[in-house]
Amino acid sequence: GAGVSQTPSNKVTEKGKYVELRCDPISGHTALYWYRQSLGQGPEFLIYFQGTGAADDSGLPNDRFFAVRPEGSVSTLKIQRTERGDSAVYLCASRFGLNQPQHFGDGTRLSIL
């Protein structure tokens, strides 16, 4: 079966624009995570979904960032009024159970000009 799929793989847009990043987790994985990885840094936690609900959104940097997972499978990370500092690789991960490892996607490289 396929692993975690993220689209697009690359996104270039202008400052101030709105972007959506999509994550398709492994089938049957109820837990889904978003992380952000800036250049030269490790991934930083953004938000965690258990099923359809955001169980922990403490990592979202501000209210320009929002994520949804309406049917408990695919998730979309939405960024409004993008800023140059939002440029990073956005990683998605999913896992089956609490004691199971997280499986990561390839990420979306977001560049804000």
Binding site for other proteins (CB under 8 A): 3-4, 31, 33, 35, 40-45, 48, 50, 55-56, 59, 91, 95, 98, 101-107
C-beta of 78: minimal distance to other proteins in Å? 20
At 25, phi and psi to the nearest 5? -75, 175
Q: Which residue lies nearer to other proteins by CB, 20 or 57?
A: 57
Task: Report the alpha-carbon distance of residue 94 to residue 16 in Å, rounded.
Answer: 30
Q: How far is the CB of 86 from other proteins (least distance, A)?
A: 19
- Alpha-carbon gap, residue 15 to 90, rounded angstroms: 17
Q: Which two tokens stand for residue 80?
A: 């409004």
